[in-house]
Structure 1
Amino acid sequence: MYANIQTNYLGTALATAFSQVAESDKLRKYFLRGKEIALKHIKAFSSYLEMCSLPTPMSYDQDITDSEEPPFSDKLMAFHFSLMIYAGIGNYGVSISEDQRTDMDVDYYRLIAEILKYSEDGANIMIANEWLEQPPLAANRRDLAKD
């Protein structure tokens, strides 16, 4: 749970930084929406730690510069952000498999559903901008078979 909070804080920092420099208004709004989702997840996880009087990680907001000049293309930022989202979903899955408290599992399932929908929106932005190609597919053996 602590690690999930840390990675969500990293996500909020990147979302903030990327939103400052993104050239596309649609992508900027997407990053900011991701930041809001991550903050909501942080709040959910932190509440469990705080109930047990355990420490919570600090944010990385102090490390974000005030630059508005893009060091990367929108395409690269969108791709990087999507990879980070998929890694976070994997982290949640590992947490579910190792968690012994079923009350937390309900939150994980709810949060995974939310982040999956968000990642689909990001994929759609990448497809609309022709930044994402269709991955290689398995051959359809029925179509290839000659009757």
Structure 2
Amino acid sequence: MSSRKPEVKPTNIELSCTEIGGLWGIYLQESMTVCFLTYFRHHLQDGQIVPLADEAFQIAKNRMDKIKKFFQAENFPIPAAFSEGDVNLTAPPLFHDTFTLSFLYMMNRLGMINYAFTASNNVRLDVLDFFNECIHTTTEMFGKAVRMMLEKGIYDRPPKMNYPEKVEFVEKTSFLDGLLGAKRPLNAIELSEIFFNIERNYFSVIVMLGFAQVMEDKKLKEHILRGKKISESQINLFNNLLMQEDLLGTVPISMEVTGSTVSPFSDKLILSMINILNSVDIMLISHALSLSMRLDLTAHYTKIIAKVMSYSKDTFDIMVEHRWLEQPPLTIDRKQLLQS
């Protein structure tokens, strides 16, 4: 029997499940971001975008280093995540320079949501400080991306609406109607959710188009194109809703895919990105559903969630089949221990 004593720590507050899950998930996402930005930075020629991409790359690397220190201090295994082997820098540019700006905008917009949610689940103060720092730097980077997109004329602002003249309260239960007969106008919250769902799905369409264009495996290409169609159907649905409200539809992202057919990314990295986009879509469509107060909107969102969940399940199965899906940390299987 070993007589070695455990290492003495200044404090012995171990990571809880929320801190482990948050740090583990963010490490994988930042590792993925590093891979994409490594490739984008290699081909970038726009002198305005290069410094912003460099800053975002360094932020992601620093976050990974800090998470490594958390895990090493706890003798916790570092996730395999992604590496230089998942990026092919010899491949020609797959996206035009402005897509890097769209990527930074969208990833930081989603990051603000993700980091705030993750921070709210943490109670160990050093981990909480780390996520608070992530929220701060992500918000700053988002603002810089928006500012540059406005300067370049590629940012489509959310729809405007008239200011109300006075405070009003709901007087009729028909406020919830919308499936049949007359519908009340969209409220500000519903309109915001529709706009950002269109914007997010346009981003997904561009990403899926690029991935499908360079994918050699026919089955994987078909799966990617199926995801692209799901995003396109959401765009069409939401734009039609806006047109029915006498509001113009929106096309926030221009064509940003080049003619390259050489894949710059591993199939694992591509499918992992799609897996994250699926998770985000389910989360944000559910959020929109919870805030919508017109029954036709709730019906639409419910159908969309079912489609995306089905596609997400198939993506999951593909990743498991190819051993591309790294398993999140599990609790101890007590039943197996008792049976041994």
TM-score, normalization by structure 1: 0.91
| 1:52 and 2:245 matched | yes
Please state whether the residue corresponding to 2:255 is helix, strand or coil.
helix
Match of 1:85 among 274, 278, 282: 278
54-63 or 66-75: which moved more? 54-63
1:41 aligned partner: 234
Q: Which amino acid aligns with 2:228?
A: K
1:133 CA displacement: 3.7
1:6 aligned partner: 199
1:59 CA displacement: 5.7
* % identity of equivalent residues: 33
User: Take 2:270 and 2:241, find their aligned partners in 1: how far apart are those partners?
Assistant: 32
| 1:94 and 2:291 matched | no
| 1:139 and 2:332 matched | yes
Greater relative CO, 1 or 2 (CA 8 Å, sep 6+):
1
Q: Is the 8 A contact 2:271 2:315 kept in 1?
A: yes
User: Take 1:59 and 1:73, find their aligned partners in 2: how far apart are those partners?
Assistant: 28
Q: Which amino acid aligns with 1:27?
A: L
Task: Decide which structure has the larger Cα Rg and report it.
Answer: 2
RMSD: 1.6
27-36 or 60-69: which moved more? 60-69
Q: Is the 8 A contact 2:199 2:253 kept in 1?
A: no
Q: Is the 8 A contact 1:21 1:68 kept in 2?
A: yes
1:9 CA displacement: 1.0
Match of 1:115 among 305, 308, 329: 308
Q: Is the 8 A contact 1:15 1:34 kept in 2?
A: yes
1:61 CA displacement: 5.2
2:265 aligned partner: 72
1:19-56 CA-to-partner distances (Å, cap 9, x unmatched) read 01113221111110111111111111112111111122
70-79 or 23-32: which moved more? 23-32
Q: Is the 8 A contact 1:23 1:74 kept in 2?
A: no
Q: Which amino acid aligns with 2:214?
A: V
Could you tell me which runs of 5 or more consecutive residues in structure 1 were left unpaired when the two chains were aligned: none
TM-score, normalization by structure 2: 0.41
User: Take 1:76 and 1:142, find their aligned partners in 2: how far apart are those partners?
Assistant: 35
Structure with greater proportional helix content: 1
2:56 aligned partner: none
2:173 aligned partner: none
Please state whether the residue corresponding to 1:48 is helix, strand or coil.
helix
Q: Which amino acid aligns with 1:31?
A: I
Q: Is the 8 A contact 1:126 1:132 kept in 2?
A: yes
Could you tell me which runs of 5 or more consecutive residues in structure 2 were left unpaired when the two chains were aligned: 1-193
User: Take 1:56 and 1:85, find their aligned partners in 2: how far apart are those partners?
Assistant: 24
